[in-house]
Structure 1
Amino acid sequence: MPFTFTDIFKFIFALILPPLGVFLERGCNKDLAINVLLTIFGFIPGIIHACYIICKY
């Protein structure tokens, strides 16, 4: 799947605040809730999940 120009910004936002990257990609749904929980439990798992969501969709 080719990356678009906006994906670069989503990755930057995912590194700064992982739920924001997921919100920009998927909106307000279960992926966002999972990412918020992962970010609360540990910042690195939240970043990994956000990058996964951005790459997958």
Structure 2
Amino acid sequence: MASPVKTFEAGDRVSHDKEGIGRITAVEGTYAVVVDLGRGRLLRVMSPFDKLHML
């Protein structure tokens, strides 16, 4: 059975397995999200968001 698709909204706090804690700043449909990791670091994470977890 397939895992449910993770969905995020702008403003959600998240944790990335390698990059740490951040906040979703943009949602690109179900394909990608942009995470602000602080200090001007932005990370674009592509679906299926395996390394991204809601806090």
Q: Scaled by the length of structure 2, what TM-score is found?
A: 0.27
**Rg comparison, structure with higher value:** 2
Q: Could you say which structure has the higher helix fraction?
A: 1
Normalised by the length of structure 1, the TM-score is: 0.27
